[in-house]
Homo-oligomer: A and B are copies of this chain.
Amino acid sequence: MIAVLKRNAGQEDKEKVIRVIKEENFDVHPIQGVEKTIIGVLGNQNNRTKLKEKLMTMSCVEKVVLILDPYKLTSWNFKQEKTVIDLGDDVKIGGSELTIMAGPCSVESREQLLKTAEIVKTGGAKILRGGAFKPRTSPYSFQGLGEEGLKILSEAREKTGLKIITELMDIEHIDVVCQYTDIIQIGARNMQNYSLLKEIGKLNKPVMLKRGMAATIKEWLLAAEYIMNEGNHNVILCERGVRTFGEETRNTMDLSSIPLVQQLSHLPVIADPSHGTGRWELVTPVARAAAAVGADGIMVEVHPEPENALSDGPQSLKPEKYYSMMVEIAAISKTLYSFESSEKKIAYV
């Protein structure tokens, strides 16, 4: 940590700052510049947020700059091998293949889901998505089928062999959701629901953590730390677009976050172009871009009849669009793997 003193700070201020730092058991390395004094602080990492805030309350301190990243368990420093989530039956996330998750926004009925599951499987995806508990912006919108929806998902898994991912919204539904799903999804609105993250951290189940609508990379990784810190290291990250001033798309897909996170962390990163754009016409090109940028997987909304969907119809692909998207991203992914081996070494070390 570096404390920068204000231009007009005197010898007494400097000594006071040094005293405060020493009281917290850090070492001090002052550097006297022509215009300002800066004080290097070395030592015990655990205590540093407290010391930082303490220094920032002192009126002679202009700013405090942290040197070490706040992440621990998510970083390459903690673990030098890429995390691969193995769901069994040769379905993996973070390995050498682009993993596709597809399905409807919500489970609406047995018929709708089973039909979609067949389409999803035919297209080549390995994981079926579908919401049973839905976080809707308005209390007057469809809120999901609940456990009934989970049972339908489970039936689809039996029929197709697809793995299941579904959203968990609160602690009280942990047991029921875990009973049916292969991966727990934590939605963007709950990315900083720390009570929920801590409980999930006590499970063994893989978790996909969506980036919050206005979350920085740091906050996103720290949310993953909440889960990992309790013991569950099976975390997948999912970029689903951030909120900007743009009015033309539902969100702005931040694709550069994917290679950036891959440089900072060993966790796999998935892209969700359906929520990232909110418009079905943009889903296929952005899915191609996500494959090309190096995402570990892609999650996409598919519906047999988007015009009759109870939620997110406007961003859902029709079956034929989904099939052609699958062909395109497979081709791009194949192209990418032909030259990426060297790249990967550079990116991950």
Contacts and interface: CB of A to CB of B under 8 A. Distances in A.
A294 interface: yes
A204 interface: no
A67 B289 contact: no
A46 B147 CA distance: 24
Interface stretch (A124-132, A148-156, A176-184, A329-337): A329-337
Interface string A9-22: 00000000000100
A161 B245 CA distance: 41
Number of copies: 4
B194 A169 contact: yes
Given A139-B222, A256-B276, A343-B284, A67 B245 contact: no
A20 B33 CA distance: 19
Contact of A336 (B33, B198, B213, B288): B288
B70 A140 contact: yes
Contacts of A276: 256
A166 interface: no
Interface residues of A, number: 116
Nearest to A5: B67
Contacts of A316: 57
Nearest to A314: B56
A54 B307 contact: yes
A131 to B, nearest CB: 13
B252 A254 contact: yes
A253 B248 CA distance: 15
A36 interface: yes
A193 B219 CA distance: 18
B135 A313 contact: no
Given A53-B312, A252-B244, A339 B335 contact: no
Contacts of A189: 192-194
Nearest to A190: B193
A255 B283 CA distance: 12
Contacts of A222: 137-139
A91 interface: no
Contacts of A36: 67-68
Interface string A221-253: 010011001000000000000111111110011
Interface in A94-144: 135-142
B259 A281 contact: yes
Given A31-B40, A277-B256, A282-B260, A53 B314 contact: yes
Given A139-B194, A288-B336, 6 more contacts: A31-B42, A57-B314, A70-B140, A252-B254, A292-B293, A332-B332
